[in-house]
Amino acid sequence: MKYVEEFRDAEKAKILVQEIDKLVAEIDIAKERPISIMEVCGGHTHSIFRYGLEGMLPKEIELVHGPGCPVCVLPMGRVDDCVAIAERPEVIFTTFGDAMRVPGSKKSLLQAKADGADVRMVYSPMDALALAKKNPDREVVFFAIGFETTIPSTALTILQAKADGVENFSVFCNHITIVPTIKAILDSPDLQLDGFLGPGHVSMVIGTAPYEFISQHYKRPMVVAGFEPLDVLQSIWMVLKQIKEGRAEIENQYARIVSDAGNSPALTALSEVYELREFFEWRGLGSIDHSGVRIRDAYSVFDAETRFAMPNIKIADPKSCQCGEVLKGVIKPWQCKVFGSACTPEMPLGALMVSSEGACAAYYQYGGVKKREAVS
Amino acid sequence: MCLGIPGRIVAIDDARKKLATVDVSGVKRQVNIACVVSDDHPVEACVGDWVLVHVGFAMSRIDEAEAAETLKVLTELGEAQAEMEAMRLSATG
Ligand code: SF4
């Protein structure tokens, strides 16, 4: 077990893996087919690959890497909209670093920058607001991406912009929400999932109550999980224990950060500024009802979509890309025809290769995750 | 972006706007602390708190031991360096 030694609590990990082995041996369905557990969050995907956790698990467990990486699910058309805004001479376009290299149909933001557009990397939407204050003769646009973990940050920034009377600041909102996404996955006929690892930091904001439908309606267990290797292993054990006992509940392994009710100031800011969109387009997954938010009318002066004319064209993903199938867990990254050949982290074709939280990049970076037999 | 990074609130910069300076492994930057402030825990009480910082916003209070563990894991994951690099390079000028 060469992977275990890499992290400090090798002993605890070994014990957990033994407990997982024991449980799996007692689960009947595991004798017929693998038990599939989806980690919804890209942070978990990253931990799983980085620590080789898949290789430590018995072969009866299949981890399905879900769509929880905001950069990875950005559709090409939205990237084209970014480029169109960024190329306006009056605009300073600000973005998180991860989003710079996501391919659009013609170029990425990085290429637009090389071609002369004023694209700047910021760490925080607050930095974009500060830029707007320092450059009153320019239009500063912040490219807002992310699930509920980052939605409150742009909501609070818009509230601050309003309080400060900043007129040359707007947000291009591409925020997405987790619950409709999980529902779409559960409704997808391609996919048979036995349980979920719930996202840690999205849940820190929304709490655990919004997931109840997963256990009540779909009868699947979910365990909200932390990001350390031991957190992930323990959460997998908790999911398996529920399966073994025939329970489907929402459990919280990450209670040190996540409360059942979530973060109330964050939720208040979120619903003050944002409302649900009827639908939002995802790369690879198509349109998902109510899966995105937009800026409410009361704050529309801060909405880049009202301030600028956008091409807003739907662009089909390149034919050779199989990002959608990977996102839904139907195929593994290395089964994509262009994985590692036409699509690499240096020259990404699909967005799953761009971010270190994307399954393809994580797999590419940390290499062969083999099942335990192959290792020992 | 999604993993965040632990830091310690070392000063309140603007109590009304809920802005504070956080020290993240020696890198200091201003963050918004609105999400960790409540009636029971007003702005002034936040100095010394360890918090999990996501894109310039303190999103959760954590204890010191938890902060140390998390930083260690993030360093192993290569996320801490990337996050601090992003803080340093962020365009504000
Ligand atoms: S290898 Fe590239 S094109 Fe294929 S699924 Fe992964 S990111 Fe998409």
Other beta carbons within 10 angstroms of residue A68's beta carbon come to 28
CA distance A193 to B67: 33
B44 Cα to chain A: minimum distance (Å) = 17
Give distance in angstroms: CA of A336 to centre of ligand 1: 6
What would the mean pLDDT of B39-68 be, rounded to a whole number?
A: 91
What is the domain count for chain A? 2
> Looking at the domain assignment, is residue A115 inside a domain?
yes
Mutate to test the interface with B, among A47, A118, A126, A256 (most CBs of B within 10 A): A126
Query: Do the Cβ atoms of A123 and B87 come within 8 Å?
Result: yes
Same domain, A97 and A197: yes
> Looking at the domain assignment, is residue A346 inside a domain?
yes
Smallest CA-to-CA distance from B39 within A163, A6, A265 is with A265
Same domain, A289 and A357: no
Angle of CA points A292, A297, A302, to nearest 5°: 80
The owner of tokens 């291009």 is A172
Query: What are the chain A neighbours of B60 within 8 Å (beta carbons)?
Result: 204, 257, 263
> Looking at the domain assignment, is residue A185 inside a domain?
yes
> Looking at the domain assignment, is residue A108 inside a domain?
yes
Same domain, A262 and A347: no
B6: which 2 tokens? 């632990």
> Looking at the domain assignment, is residue A193 inside a domain?
yes
Q: Look at phi and psi of residue A93 and say left if phi exceeds 0, alpha if psi is from -120 to 50, else beta.
A: beta
Same domain, A314 and A359: no
- Give me the pLDDT at residue A185, please: 85
Same domain, A171 and A200: yes
CATH number for the domain including A273?
Answer: 3.40.50.11740
Residue-wise DSSP of A66-124 = EEE-TTTT--HHHHHHHHHHHTSTTEEEEE-GGGGG---SS--HHHHHHTT--EEE-SS
- Give me the pLDDT at residue B93, please: 63
Same domain, A67 and A209: yes
Question: What 3-state class would DSSP assign to A39?
Answer: strand
Nearest-by-CA chain B residue for A268: B35
| A71, A351 contact by CB (below 8 A) | yes
- Give me the pLDDT at residue A367, please: 66
Same domain, A289 and A343: no
Same domain, A305 and A329: no
Residue-wise DSSP of B24-90 = ETTEEEEEE-GGG--SSS-GGGGTT-EEEEETTEEEEEE-HHHHHHHHHHHHHHTHHHHHHHHHHH-
> Looking at the domain assignment, is residue A371 inside a domain?
no
Residue to mutate, A65, A74, A326, A331, ligand 1, most ligand atoms under 8 Å from C-beta:
A326
Say if strands A139-146 and A169-175 run parallel, antiparallel, or are unpaired. Answer: parallel
Report residues of chain A scoring pLDDT below 70.
1-8, 367-376
- Give me the pLDDT at residue A8, please: 56
The pTM for the full model equals 0.89
- Give me the pLDDT at residue A370, please: 44
B26 Cα to chain A: minimum distance (Å) = 17
Please give the residue range of the domain that contains residue A7: 1-319
Same domain, A315 and A339: no
Q: What is the CA radius of gyration of chain B?
A: 13
CA distance A86 to A116: 10
| Tens-place pLDDT, residues B3-28 | 789 999 999 999 999 999 999 988 89
The owner of tokens 């529309």 is A300
CA distance A85 to A66: 30
CA distance A152 to A273: 9
Same domain, A258 and A355: no
> Measured in Å, how far apart are chain B's first and last C-alpha atoms?
22
Band of the pLDDT at B32, cuts 50, 70, 90?
very high
